[in-house]
């Protein structure tokens, strides 16, 4: 049926392919989506009841703002990373810190600091964490002036902006690396999180027999002039979901080793009391190939300008 002339004309008309207005690329994509949807309905014998249940699901997904969770949970966002990796390999581009998913919880415009920053507002009783590392170019030379844009969850597994109980930009900072390419941040050890149990993402995962849990992790955008933007994250070693991340974000080379320190003298030297944690993680950027390559395949989505 979908291949019949009448159906094809319907989809061409609906997608705007028969007029000269609008956006040609959007038209091309919508036409393909309509054609493939029709084939899916035919091949899988989708009933009207199943179709309208799917429409209702999309409505509820949008109302809960969980589309970003679904694309991560179904592996689509990780697939984009695999696709970009394959494109890089075909082009002879290699090396550098691996990319991995951005996720749906980035907020643009976090406070900018030189060299180091405190990320938490002091209200969360979590374990103090000292995070540090360096940013290098492809030859291993430290990159001064690189911007490390990082964000993570609190001990309840929630993020500022999306969690109204947290202060503005809590656990979100941008740090400019010093002359040695180093960045330093004081924060708290984040917790992992699960999809809202009453939400449409977990509803779908239940139908698939899957959980919706993520390990504790820290997100990063790393950028520097003349280098490709890096979107990545480190998942923390020791978490039970480290290699069972529902979002498929854990990759070799992106495991953050956490060292917990109990020594009182060391804590005093750090200006804290009691047990604290240390994580050190370095990043290596790839060289920009041309004017567009700096962000190609890794450009961040500035979802919100807070």
**What per-residue confidence (pLDDT) applies to 4?**
75
Rounded Cα distance between 285 and 146, Å, is 10
**What per-residue confidence (pLDDT) applies to 2?**
54
Mean of pLDDT over the chain: 93
Give the closest residue to 109 by CA, choosing from 173, 170, 184, 185. 173
Question: Model's pTM, two decimal places?
Answer: 0.91
Q: What is the pLDDT of residues 20-73, one digit of tens each?
A: 999 999 999 999 999 999 999 999 999 999 999 999 999 999 999 999 999 999
Give the closest residue to 217 by CA, choosing from 166, 167, 172, 254. 254
Q: What is the pLDDT of residues 261-304, one digit of tens each?
A: 999 999 999 999 999 999 999 999 999 976 554 454 454 454 43
Parallel, antiparallel, or unpaired for β 182-188 and 128-136? antiparallel
- Which run of H or of E encompasses 29? helix 24-43
Average pLDDT of the segment spanning 160-164? 95
Q: What is the pLDDT of residues 122-133, one digit of tens each?
A: 999 999 999 999
**What per-residue confidence (pLDDT) applies to 109?**
96
The confidence band for 1, taking pLDDT boundaries of 50, 70 and 90, is low
Alpha helices in 117-199 (DSSP H): none
The confidence band for 5, taking pLDDT boundaries of 50, 70 and 90, is confident
């Amino acid at each position: 049926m979908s291949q019949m002339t009448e159906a094809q004309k319907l989809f061409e008309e609906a997608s705007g392919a028969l007029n000269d207005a609008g956006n040609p690329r959007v038209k091309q994509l919508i036409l393909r989506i309509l054609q493939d949807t029709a084939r899916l309905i035919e091949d899988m014998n989708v009933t009207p009841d199943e179709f309208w249940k799917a429409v209702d699901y999309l409505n509820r997904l949008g109302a809960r703002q969980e589309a970003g969770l679904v694309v991560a949970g179904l592996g689509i966002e990780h697939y984009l990373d695999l696709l970009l990796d394959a494109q890089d390999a075909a082009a002879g581009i290699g090396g550098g810190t691996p990319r991995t998913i951005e996720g749906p919880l980035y907020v643009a415009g976090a406070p900018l600091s030189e060299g180091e920053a405190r990320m938490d507002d002091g209200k969360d009783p979590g374990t103090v964490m000292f995070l540090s590392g360096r940013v290098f170019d492809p030859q291993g030379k430290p990159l001064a002036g690189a911007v490390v844009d990082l964000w993570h969850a609190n001990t309840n597994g929630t993020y500022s902006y999306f969690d109204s109980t947290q202060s503005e930009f809590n656990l979100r900072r941008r740090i400019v690396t010093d002359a040695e390419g180093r960045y330093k941040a004081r924060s708290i050890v984040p917790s992992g999180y699960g999809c809202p149990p009453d939400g449409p993402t977990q509803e779908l995962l239940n139908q698939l027999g899957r959980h919706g849990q993520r390990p504790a992790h820290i997100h990063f955008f790393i950028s520097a002039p003349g280098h490709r933007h890096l979107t990545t994250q480190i998942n923390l070693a020791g978490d039970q979901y480290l290699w069972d991340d529902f979002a498929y974000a854990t990759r070799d080379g992106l495991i953050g080793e956490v060292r917990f320190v109990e020594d009182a003298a060391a804590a005093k030297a750090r200006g804290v009391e009691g047990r604290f944690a240390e994580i050190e993680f370095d990043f290596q950027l790839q060289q920009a190939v041309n004017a567009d390559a700096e962000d190609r395949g890794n450009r961040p989505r500035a979802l919100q300008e807070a």
